[in-house]
Amino acid sequence: MMKLISLLFISTLVFAADNEIYVDQSGATANIDLEQLGSGNIIGGLNSSAGSLTALDLDGISMTLDINQIGDTNKFLGDLLGDTITGFFEFDGDSNTFTIQGDPTNTYGIDNSNYNVDVTGSTNTFTLDHGTSALAATLDLDWIIQGDGNTFDFDINYDGGTSYVDVDGDSNTVNFTGSGYAGGYFYLDQTGNSRTFNITQASTQDNDWLKIISISGTSASTVCVVQNDQGTSTSC
């Protein structure tokens, strides 16, 4: 059975408080479209309470997500349990928090995933754990980041995948850890000053590939790269 959820929430400072969407969705196939316009918006799980946000729970073999949060101080927290996941995420604003875990309970193995993330704004925090409890077969990850002072943490446990991150702004931090059996490809294209990048690749049975294009002007960027064929992470 295919299920379709399409929600549009708009808040104003005059008439409404923060918007909140809580989702617990299960089914073989799902298309989910969520959009929030305003500040202080929340997308999370049904067990959330005042001052405590739990993850929304999306459970299905195949799902497509289209998530848009436009505004400041918004929060998105989600657990995605599926075999094939396609996600389109757009965040436009400052001081937002975005956290995703891909199949943290190893229910389906999250074999095929494609994440497209477009971020515009400053002082945002983004965390992606993919294949949290087991190896994910393939991953296509595309991030476009425009803004200053953003922090991005990637922990990818996959059997082959491509990660593309394009960063345009000052003083951003990217932490990437890729591990698993088959190799992964990580491509980083950055323009701006005073960047910090910590990249660890640790595949056990195949090659890892890394390409960095860095244009930082007159200021120095910090780049740390660790490649370890033993499958264990070594800190920068």
Q: What is the pLDDT of residues 67-122, one digit of tens each?
A: 999 988 888 998 888 888 899 999 999 998 899 888 877 777 777 888 899 999 98
CB-based contacts of 183, cutoff 8 Å, min separation 6: 160, 201, 203, 206, 207, 208, 209
pLDDT at 161 over 70: yes
Q: Confirm whether 63 is domain-assigned.
A: yes
pLDDT for 90 equals 93
Residues 169-200 have pLDDT tens digits of: 878 888 888 776 666 788 888 887 777 888 88
Residue 6 · residue 30 · CB < 8 Å? no
Residue 220 · residue 194 · CB < 8 Å? yes
Q: Confirm whether 144 is domain-assigned.
A: no
3-state helix, strand, coil in the chain (%, to 5): 0, 60, 40
Residues 16-38 have pLDDT tens digits of: 346 888 888 888 888 889 999 88
Residue 121 · residue 149 · CB < 8 Å? no
Give the type of residue at 7: L
Give the type of residue at 13: L
Q: Confirm whether 119 is domain-assigned.
A: yes
The answer to which of 19-33, 128-142, 157-171 has the lowest mean pLDDT is: 128-142
Q: Confirm whether 37 is domain-assigned.
A: yes
Q: Confirm whether 215 is domain-assigned.
A: no
What do you get for the CA distance between the two ends of the chain, in Å? 46
pTM of the model: 0.80
Q: Confirm whether 223 is domain-assigned.
A: no
Residue 213 · residue 186 · CB < 8 Å? no
DSSP conformation class of 39: S
- The count of domains in the chain is 1
Tell me which residue range forms the domain holding 112.
2-134
pLDDT for 9 equals 38
DSSP conformation class of 53: P
Q: Confirm whether 225 is domain-assigned.
A: no
Q: Confirm whether 197 is domain-assigned.
A: no
CB-based contacts of 170, cutoff 8 Å, min separation 6: 148, 149, 192, 193, 194, 195
84-92 and 112-120 strand pairing: parallel
